[in-house]
Amino acid sequence: MRSSAYEGASVWDVVSPARPSRLAGVSMAGFRDGGSASVGQRVIPHPSVMLAVEFGAGAPVVADAAGRQQRGSVVAGLGQGFGGAVWVRGADVECLQVRLSPLVVRTVLGVSPADLDGFVALDDVWGRAAARIREQLSEAATWEERFALAEALLERSRGARASVDPEVAWAWRQIVGGRGTIRVERLASEVGWSRKRLWSRFRSQVGLPPKRAARLVRFDRAVHRLVAGDDAARVAAEGGYADQPHLNRDVLAFAGVTPSAVAHESWLAVDDVAWPDHRHGDASADRPCTGRSRHR
């Protein structure tokens, strides 16, 4: 287990499972704050769909720049938080977070990633099952029990629903495998589809057009390198950006802050513990290990 102190941020305990999930495209982490009032955290976009299932004494509140708020357990669409316009706050919060590859969202949740606009109440997606899982998580004695409960629910939720087209899945994996630097223009010809058909099917099944998805994946890789302390010029040169100003513009567009500022965002600092697979690309590459960090 690892322990780190993040100065100037509220304190959280962060736990990840001792073994990878049996379910492809699924990774989980647990969060518990120290009971003090939590400062707001900027949500940084990520190339996955996120479920946050709260079960503690307090409930997180998600708010955007338009003044919309969602309290409690939520589902966040692919890349939510664009422009730094979404914040989360709360005290005495205990929750389990699940990251889903967009390739498995329809089979697990029963909705398309394209239908998840912003933050949606988990009850609106899972109905009464959301209340049951919150109760079970609260009664569980250990985080390993909670991870097992969540995994069992996700497994039961999978049905004979239509998944993504093989061509769309292949294109997504090419984008992720290339860390967002692949030239998406050639993807259509390689699957034997017209550009219009691939763009349309990709958007409806993944939730973003291919170019936007590639930008998101490239951004995610870049900001984690910045958090790790890599020089911005080097990140730009090795990350598929034309130059450092190009990196600056992309980080500002996605996160709402500059590269130097995003390196200190508390939302990102925890990822090495909570999501130790994040540097390997796809949210479906699920290789979590046990860890604990003092954060947020």
Domains, the chain, ordered by start = 12-162+282-295 (2.60.120.10), 166-262 (1.10.10.60)
Neighbour order of strands in the sheet with 86-89: 41-42, 86-89, 61-64, 69-71
Contacts of 72 (CB under 8 A, 6+ apart): 54, 59, 60, 121, 122, 123
How many other C-beta atoms lie within 10 A of the C-beta of residue 157? Answer: 15
Q: How far apart are CA 218 and CA 239, in angstroms?
A: 7
pLDDT in tens, the chain (296 residues): 333 334 334 567 889 998 889 999 999 999 987 654 456 889 999 999 999 999 988 888 999 888 889 999 999 999 999 999 999 988 888 999 999 999 999 998 888 899 998 899 999 998 899 999 999 999 999 999 999 999 999 998 876 666 799 999 999 999 999 999 998 888 999 999 999 999 999 999 999 999 999 999 999 999 999 999 999 999 999 999 999 999 999 999 999 999 999 999 888 888 877 877 654 445 443 332 333 333 33
Q: Are 257 and 76 spatial neighbours (Cβ–Cβ below 8 Å)?
A: no
Task: Read off the pTM.
Answer: 0.88
